[in-house]
Structure formats: structure tokens, C-alpha cells
């Protein structure tokens, strides 16, 4: 048993993977993320916050932009080209911000799904309070709670940095209390992810059912419009699952090996698990590049502003974007005519899908 632990402790990972491949992948990701999220921020913060949907999307932009800004420090730290002080800064501050903004984004995507569910399915009727101020307070609560829970990870990383094989392990900067808090916080983040994923599946299942019933009631034969609506319904779930599910499936066994509660047979197994963790973490980070797809798919105001920037004729691009079907709730005060499908393509109440 002791032999297994010693092998694990002395396990040296392939430097080509840790110091070359992942820094290159993160460099590509960083450039794309900074460009897309800077553009998204430039557009969004010129749009008034008139709906809770817009409030949540703006907060996602901020979280993604902050996460993108931490990536250059991670690149330098992983590549081993930064000073020991820079790598210690990454462990104590930058890495904490990297992870916490990722989970803030996850929670906000969950709130977006709930917001869509309440506005489209309307399980409580028309009287659901969905004021902008409520969205702002919910967003502020997410930031305050998550940053407060992450703060001990910063405070308890108070040990002198120690290198092993030229590498600095962030866990070496934590005492026993720090390691316990870090492990507990990681398990808490697991709960956040899987609960948010369950919420999104629940919300979008009922949204899809509502949209299908609307098409069935109107006897619509517009398959293209139907496909566009399905794409809008499932784009958030698709991005969410592809980006985050692999990482949260791998991180638990990885954490167990780090705390020695799970002992692997040899060094190759531990190295393979480490590579799987880093690969899926990079995949999670790609969410900062895929989130702009959500803005384009689901937010007509954002799409119109973007098309205005890209197209030479703003009026033509605006007119073209308006012809796209926007997913919207069924108006409970207006019945759909069997011979008129226009109610499917527009919002007939003040609470629409468009942000």
C-alpha cells in the first residue's frame, strides 16, 4: 500500500503535455475568447437592461470576460515560463477567479433557463413577477455568494510556494484546513453543476413541449421554422452539456487521488487521469467562446446590433433579422387561429422571448 502512494507521489508527468500542448490550446482559446467577449460586452452594454433575460446575459458576459482575462496567467504558469511569484499568484488568485467565474456562468445559465420557462410555459399564469430589479438582485446574489465561498481559498493559500521537479503544485500552498475547504468547495461546485443541469433539462423539456403544442394547434407546416425554434430551445442545453459535463465526470476521481482517498495502481494511470482532467477543463473553458452563440440565437436585440456592425446596410440587416422566428410564449389572452400561424412567429404579450 505504501509503495503505491510513493509511486503516486513521485509520478512525473510528460512535460510536452503540461508545458507545451495545453498552453498552446489555451493560447488559441484566449485570443478567440477575448475577441468574442469584448465584442459582446461592447454591444450588450449599449443595450438598456429592459428584461431579466438581458440582465442575466450581461452578467454572463462579465463572468466570461473575467475568466478570459485569467487565461494568459494560466498559460504562463503552466508553460513554466513565469517567475515563481507569478505562479504563486496564479495559484492564490488567478486560478480561484478562473474557477469561480466558470461556476457563476453556470448558475446564470440556469437562471436564464428558469427565466425562459416562466415566460414561455407560464406555470403560474401571467402574474409571475419578472421585473428587471429582481433579475439584478438575483445576479448580485450569485456573485456575492460565490465570491464569498471562494475567498477562503485565497486566504488559506498562505504557505510558502514549493516547487517539485520545477513545477509548483497549488495544493502545496495550502495547509490542512485549506485543503479541506478546497475539497469541500469542489464537492459543493459538483452539486451546483448537476442541480443546474437537472433544472435546465426540466425547463427546456417543458419549453419544447409548449412550442410543439403551439405548432400543433396552429397546424403549422413550416418545417424550417420548427427547426429554428428547436435550435433555439436546445442551444443552451447543448453548449452547457458539451462544455461542462465531461469535466464534472472526471474531476471527482481526480480529487480523490489528490487527497489519497483513491490510490491508483501505477503512474501511468494517474497521468492519464490528470490528462483527462486537464483536457476536460480546457473543454469547459471553451464555453467562454460558445456563449456568444447563445446571444446570437436567443437575443434579437444583440443579433440586430451585431448585424448592423457587420453589414453595410443596417436597415437591410435589421429588416432581415426581423424575419427570423423568435421563440416566444403563447399569449394566454389571445387564441391562435387555425388559419393564421403568425402568432407563432411573434410575441403577443409584454413578456417575450426576445431580450
- pLDDT of 39-95, one tens digit each? 999 998 888 888 888 999 999 999 999 999 999 999 998 888 878 888 899 999 999
State how far the Cα of 185 lies from the Cα of 222, in Å rounded to an integer: 48
Name the pLDDT band for 216 (thresholds 50, 70, 90).
Answer: confident
- Note the pLDDT of residue 295: 84
pLDDT winner (highest mean) among 175-184, 308-317, 320-329: 175-184
Ramachandran class of 329: left when φ > 0, alpha when ψ lies in -120 to 50, beta otherwise = beta
- Note the pLDDT of residue 155: 93
Decide which of 247 and 342 is more confident: 247
Alpha helices in the chain (DSSP H): 2-9, 15-16, 22-44, 52-79, 84-89, 95-120, 132-155, 176-218, 223-258, 267-285, 287-298, 300-310, 314-322
- How large is the greatest C-alpha to C-alpha distance in the chain, in angstroms? 77
Handedness of CA 329, 332, 338, 340 (dihedral sign): negative
- Note the pLDDT of residue 261: 60
- The answer to whether residue 165 scores a pLDDT higher than 60 is yes
- The answer to whether residue 286 scores a pLDDT higher than 80 is yes
Q: Which residue from 177, 229, 173, 175 is spatially nearest to 204, judged by alpha carbons? A: 229
Task: Look at 26-35, 135-144, 220-229, 257-266 and tell me which has the smallest mean pLDDT.
Answer: 220-229
pTM of the model: 0.81
Average confidence score pLDDT of the chain: 79
- What is the DSSP code string of 36-64? HHHHHHHHHTTS---SHHHHHHHHHHHHH
SS3 assignment, position 259? coil
Q: Helix axis angle, 300-310 relative to 287-298, nearest 10°?
A: 100
Decide which of 257 and 347 is more confident: 257
- Note the pLDDT of residue 223: 61
Residue 36, C-alpha cell as written in the block: 468574442
Question: What value does the mean pLDDT take over residues 160-171?
Answer: 78
Residues whose CB is less than 8 angstroms from the CB of residue 140 and which lie 6 or more positions away in sequence, other chains included: none
- Note the pLDDT of residue 229: 63
- pLDDT of 136-154, one tens digit each? 999 999 999 999 999 999 9
- Note the pLDDT of residue 95: 93
- Note the pLDDT of residue 273: 86
Residue 236, C-alpha cell as written in the block: 443552451
State the number of CA atoms in the 13 A half-sphere of 135 facing the CB: 27
Residue with cell 491508483: 264
State how far the Cα of 113 lies from the Cα of 119, in Å rounded to an integer: 10
Residue 196, C-alpha cell as written in the block: 443546474
With beta carbons less than 8 A apart as the criterion, state whether 173 and 92 touch.
yes
- The answer to whether residue 1 scores a pLDDT higher than 50 is no
Residue with cell 448558475: 107
- Note the pLDDT of residue 168: 81
- The answer to whether residue 180 scores a pLDDT higher than 60 is yes
Decide which of 60 and 327 is more confident: 60
- Note the pLDDT of residue 70: 95
What CATH architecture applies to the domain 2-344? Answer: Up-down Bundle (1.20)
- Note the pLDDT of residue 327: 40
Q: Which residue from 236, 179, 162 is spatially nearest to 202, judged by alpha carbons? A: 236
The rounded percent of the chain whose pLDDT value lies above 70 is: 74
With beta carbons less than 8 A apart as the criterion, state whether 187 and 253 touch.
no
CB-neighbour burial class of residue 214 (10 A; exposed 0-12, middle 13-18, buried 19+): buried
State how far the Cα of 262 lies from the Cα of 168, in Å rounded to an integer: 22
Question: What value does the mean pLDDT take over residues 168-186?
Answer: 88
CA angle 210, 214, 217 (to 5 degrees): 135
- Note the pLDDT of residue 231: 66
- Note the pLDDT of residue 24: 94
- Note the pLDDT of residue 332: 36
- Note the pLDDT of residue 196: 95
State how far the Cα of 120 lies from the Cα of 347, in Å rounded to an integer: 10
Amino acid at each position: 500500500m505504501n509503495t503505491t502512494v510513493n509511486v503516486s507521489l513521485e509520478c512525473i508527468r510528460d512535460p510536452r503535455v503540461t508545458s507545451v500542448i495545453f498552453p498552446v490550446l489555451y493560447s488559441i482559446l484566449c485570443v478567440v475568447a477575448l475577441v468574442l467577449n469584448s465584442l459582446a460586452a461592447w454591444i450588450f452594454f449599449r443595450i438598456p437592461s429592459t428584461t431579466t433575460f438581458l440582465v442575466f446575459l450581461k452578467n454572463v458576459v462579465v463572468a466570461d470576460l473575467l475568466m478570459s482575462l485569467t487565461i494568459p496567467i494560466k498559460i504562463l504558469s503552466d508553460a513554466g515560463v513565469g517567475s515563481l511569484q507569478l505562479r504563486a499568484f496564479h495559484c492564490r488568485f488567478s486560478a480561484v477567479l478562473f474557477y469561480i467565474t466558470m461556476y457563476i456562468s453556470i448558475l446564470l445559465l440556469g437562471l436564464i433557463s428558469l427565466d425562459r420557462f416562466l415566460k414561455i410555459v407560464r406555470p403560474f399564469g401571467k402574474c409571475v413577477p419578472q421585473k428587471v430589479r429582481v433579475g439584478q438582485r438575483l445576479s448580485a446574489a450569485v456573485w456575492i455568494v460565490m465570491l464569498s465561498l471562494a475567498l477562503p481559498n485565497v486566504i488559506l493559500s498562505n504557505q510558502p510556494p514549493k516547487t517539485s521537479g520545477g513545477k509548483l503544485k497549488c495544493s502545496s500552498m495550502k495547509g490542512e484546513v485549506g485543503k479541506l475547504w478546497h475539497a469541500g468547495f469542489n464537492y459543493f461546485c459538483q452539486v451546483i453543476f448537476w442541480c443546474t443541469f437537472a433544472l435546465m433539462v426540466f425547463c427546456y423539456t417543458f419549453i419544447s413541449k409548449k412550442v410543439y403544442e403551439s405548432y400543433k394547434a396552429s397546424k403549422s407546416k413550416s418545417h424550417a421554422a420548427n427547426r429554428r425554434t428547436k435550435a433555439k430551445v436546445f442551444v443552451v442545453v447543448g453548449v452547457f452539456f458539451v462544455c461542462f459535463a465531461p469535466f464534472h465526470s472526471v474531476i471527482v476521481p481526480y480529487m480523490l487521488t489528490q487527497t489519497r482517498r483513491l490510490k491508483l495502481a501505477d503512474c501511468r494511470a494517474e497521468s492519464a487521469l490528470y490528462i483527462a482532467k486537464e483536457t476536460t477543463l480546457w473543454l469547459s473553458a471553451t464555453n467562454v467562446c460558445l456563449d456568444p452563440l447563445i446571444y446570437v440565437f436567443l437575443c434579437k436585440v444583440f443579433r440586430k446590433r451585431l448585424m448592423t456592425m457587420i453589414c453595410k446596410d443596417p436597415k437591410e440587416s435589421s429588416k432581415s433579422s426581423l424575419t427570423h422566428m423568435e421563440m416566444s410564449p403563447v399569449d394566454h389572452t389571445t387564441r391562435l387561429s387555425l388559419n393564421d400561424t403568425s402568432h407563432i412567429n411573434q410575441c403577443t404579450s409584454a413578456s417575450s422571448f426576445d431580450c
